[in-house]
Amino acid sequence: MSHARHHHRPVREALGVTWLGLACNLLLAVGKGFVGLLTNSAALIADAGHSFSDLLSDGVTLWALWVSRMPRDENHPYGHGRFETVGALFVAVLLGATGIGVAIHAFSYLDTPVIPAPLAFWTAGVSIFVKEGLFWVTRSVGKREHSRVLMTNAWHHRSDALSSVASLAGIGAAQFGFPLMDPIAGFLVAGLILRIAVELGHESLRELTDETADEAMLERIHKQVAKVEGVEHFHEVRARPMGPNLLVDLHIEVDRLMTVSAAHQVAERVRWGVLNEIPEVNEVLVHVDAEQDLEDENVQLMRPQSEIEQDIRRSLAKLPEIKGITHIYCHFLNQMLTVQVNLLLDPDLQIRTAQQIARQARLCVEQIPDVQDADIHLELHDGGTGHEAIAVATVRGAAHLRRMPE
């Protein structure tokens, strides 16, 4: 049984912080680019290129946030959460391209290094302050929203701050008579960008290829399922990210003779427990087992129950004392088929006679192909519309008398 929880998270805050980042990146890109050209700073020009790439990443983030929050539809029954992952992968590609461009630009300054003007130093300092602030604000919103694309964009801001630190160091060294340190700092910025691009791209590819959630999350799910009464064992617990959410599926084992409706209630308690206690989870699929699953090559399928019931009715028709069959239950456990048959008998029969009929019925049923064991339950027909006054039950040939509630 699969159940989903629809998250109606407010996106206004997420969009707002992204628009703020876009505006800051635009101002920083223009400012650093202008000052870099004016002061001949390779590191600052490289940093400006990084900020321009941030404009694209902010645009992708806005698109991903908008699409991923769209309600599920016929073509996307699991929702649109993966669009966040696609957006994060696109940002990683943009970062990689920017890193290569920055390295090429810094290389061109190796032959003719220049000493940047002091203005470049102060511009890099302002960039560090702004980008570090954007990192903390965006990261805070991303954590509350459980948004991968926002967290990715936050670390993008942090990478900008770190690259500005490299620029600041290169410009400062050039001011003290080491002009080659400026293009070298440009190379360091390029390397930092490429490293972050690879890390972000790897994380996105892991999600797109349905890599499982981390061990800490699986442990949280295990602890929650173990609390549910009625769950005897559980296995095959799997969780995979879907944008800001997690999709979970698992197998639980319940009492082998539990009714379907009771087993469904246990599964519902498992589902609601996971959804309520682990907010990152959006959907839970619970498969109910009566026993531990076997390997595929060892699985034997029971004949359709309708065929087995026909065989049972045909076999028991040989016993004229049987007035009717009220229920037939089939249990396929431990690769063995056990059936429970409830029979109607005349209430005037003596208990000894009823026991003999039950034993004969059991032998007849156990001669049916595929049936390894049979439980026969006898209900004494009272001649009216009901047959609940007295019951004689035999279990594997041992009979006992009990009075059923009126």
Residue type, 91: V
How many domains in the chain?
Answer: 3
Whether the CB-CB separation of 105 and 186 falls below 8 Å is answered with yes
Structure tokens belonging to residue 339: 């059936």
pLDDT at 117 over 60: no
Whether the CB-CB separation of 302 and 330 falls below 8 Å is answered with yes
Q: How confident is the model at residue 295 (pLDDT cuts 50, 70, 90)?
A: low
pLDDT number for residue 73? 77
Higher per-residue pLDDT: 390 or 236: 236
Is the residue at 65 inside a domain?
Answer: yes
**Residue 248: C-alpha distances to residues 71, 85, 181 (Å):** 19, 18, 51
Number of neighbouring beta carbons within 10 Å of residue 383: 10
Q: How confident is the model at residue 1 (pLDDT cuts 50, 70, 90)?
A: low
Instruction: Give the max Cα distance, the chain.
Output: 116
Name the least confident of 139-148, 247-256, 343-352, 376-385: 376-385
Q: 336 forms bridges with which residues in the sheet?
A: 333
Burial class (CB in 10 A: 0-12, 13-18, 19+), 210: exposed
CATH number where 130 lies:
1.20.1510.10
Put residue 119 in one of left, alpha, beta given phi > 0 → left and psi -120 to 50 → alpha: alpha
* Cα distance between the two ends of the chain: 37
pLDDT number for residue 222? 93
Burial class (CB in 10 A: 0-12, 13-18, 19+), 267: buried
d(CA 81, CA 240): 12
* Boundary-marking domain end, from 186, 208, 230: 208
SS3 category, 29: helix
Residues 28 and 113 reside in one and the same domain: yes
Percent of the chain with pLDDT over 90: 14
CATH number where 351 lies:
3.30.70.1350
Pairing of β 371-380 and β 281-289: unpaired
Residues 33 and 115 reside in one and the same domain: yes
Residues 92 and 168 reside in one and the same domain: yes
Residues 335 and 271 reside in one and the same domain: no
DSSP alpha helix (H) spans, 209-259:
215-226
Go through 139-148 and write b for each residue having 16 or more CB atoms within 10 A of its CB, e for each that does not: bebbeebbbb
DSSP for residue 232: -
The mean per-residue pLDDT over the stretch 171-178 comes to: 70
Mean residue pLDDT of the chain comes to 78
Q: Which among 364, 299, 363 has a CA at the least distance from the CA of 332?
A: 299
pLDDT number for residue 397? 42
Q: How many CA atoms lie within 13 A of 49 on its CB side?
A: 26
Residues 139 and 197 reside in one and the same domain: yes
Which of 13-22, 244-253, 391-400 tops mean pLDDT? 244-253
Name the least confident of 48-57, 107-116, 316-325, 343-352: 107-116
Q: What range does the domain containing 263 cover?
A: 215-293
* Boundary-marking domain end, from 208, 240, 269: 208
Pairing of β 336-345 and β 371-380: parallel
pLDDT at 45 over 80: no
pLDDT number for residue 7? 44
Residues 204 and 237 reside in one and the same domain: no
Residues 204 and 243 reside in one and the same domain: no
Residues 285 and 322 reside in one and the same domain: no
Residues 138 and 250 reside in one and the same domain: no
* Boundary-marking domain end, from 248, 264, 293: 293
pLDDT number for residue 293? 61
Residues 71 and 169 reside in one and the same domain: yes
Is the residue at 298 inside a domain?
Answer: no
Residues 52 and 74 reside in one and the same domain: yes
Is the residue at 398 inside a domain?
Answer: yes
Helix (H) or strand (E) holding 344: strand 336-345
pLDDT tens, position by position, 350-396:
888 888 899 999 999 989 988 888 889 888 755 554 444 344 444 44
Is the residue at 299 inside a domain?
Answer: no
Residues 79 and 196 reside in one and the same domain: yes
